[in-house]
Amino acid sequence: MTVERSENLPRILVIDDELAIRRFLHTVLTAAEFILHEAQDGHAGLAAAAAFRPDVILLDLGLPDLDGIEVIRRIREWSTVPIIVLSVRDREDDKVGALDHGADDYLTKPFGVGELLARIRAALRRTLQQTPDPVFRSGDLQVDLNLRTVNVAGSEVQLTPTEYDILRLFVTHAGKVLTHSQILKHVWGVAYLEQPHLLRVNISNLRRKIEADPARPRHIVTEPGVGYRLRTNPE
């Protein structure tokens, strides 16, 4: 089912076999002025992703015909549309698997309406930034990707090359969950996937330099058992 009001509104595809969840999302998303299309299984969802051309996909993993991971894999063969997983599966390996296969975010059911809408808005902002702004600003943090400078509360901070590479990766994927393996592969290479201590040490050092209180980080937050996220609107 598709609900349309204006072609200028963001288009959301919901792929979920549970009618109650689809009705709930229909109410929430149409009230938030999104154009909504629903699919109740993986094959219908794949067809809708191609025909409906959504701006964001909300995907359940436990579909009756295809596993959600397979749906993600097939969509990633031809599209970079943001995919937010909504699932009752709360094990760390399920989250990591979905994110490593190309999902942009993961929310465990039940979830709050406010958090869901915030995650959708963050995904839409990333999509709209066809050419990323070379200067990233969030709270007291400013990163100039052209000049390779980092400022916190107006003062320049000196990072090691590795710390800067990690922060640059976060900036280019701001608001998105990055798994441990994704970060390790990008910064150190595939040979270091089994050395998570390198990442923990560098994240700790980076937090000491950019966080007002490293013990309670506002910028680089931990997604337990999964990875890290750079907040775009720290509290």
More confident: 6 or 209: 209
Region(s) of the chain under CATH 1.10.10.10: 135-230
Task: Output the pLDDT for position 193.
Answer: 86
Q: Would you say 7 and 53 are in contact if contact means Cβ atoms under 8 Å apart?
A: no
Q: Which residue in 55, 61, 54 sits closest to 16, CA to CA?
A: 61
Task: Output the pLDDT for position 2.
Answer: 54
Could you tell me the pTM of the whole model?
Answer: 0.73
Q: Taking 60 as the threshold, does the pLDDT of residue 1 lie above it?
A: no
Interval 179-226: pLDDT, tens? 999 999 889 888 888 888 999 999 999 999 999 999 999 999 999 989
| Domain 135-230 = CATH 3.90.1150.10 | no
Q: Taking 90 as the threshold, does the pLDDT of residue 141 lie above it?
A: yes
Burial of residue 51, with CB atoms counted within 10 A of its CB: 0-12 exposed, 13-18 middle, 19 or more buried: exposed
Interval 56-88: pLDDT, tens? 999 999 999 999 999 999 999 888 899 999 999
Q: What percent of the chain has pLDDT over 70?
A: 94
Q: Which residue in 116, 48, 126, 49 sits closest to 85, CA to CA?
A: 116
Task: Output the pLDDT for position 78.
Answer: 86
More confident: 39 or 80: 39
Region(s) of the chain under CATH 3.40.50.2300: 2-128
More confident: 150 or 232: 150
The CATH number fitting domain 2-128, selected from 3.30.70.60, 3.40.50.2300, 2.40.50.140, 3.30.460.10: 3.40.50.2300
Task: Output the pLDDT for position 7.
Answer: 56
Between strands 227-230 and 177-179, the pairing is: antiparallel
Task: Residue 74: count other Cβ atoms within 10 Å of its Cβ.
Answer: 17
Q: What angle, 0 to 180 degrees and rounded to 10, lies between the N-to-C axes of helices 113-128 and 19-31?
A: 60
H helix and E strand count, the chain: 8, 13
At 9, the pLDDT band (50, 70, 90 cuts) reads: confident
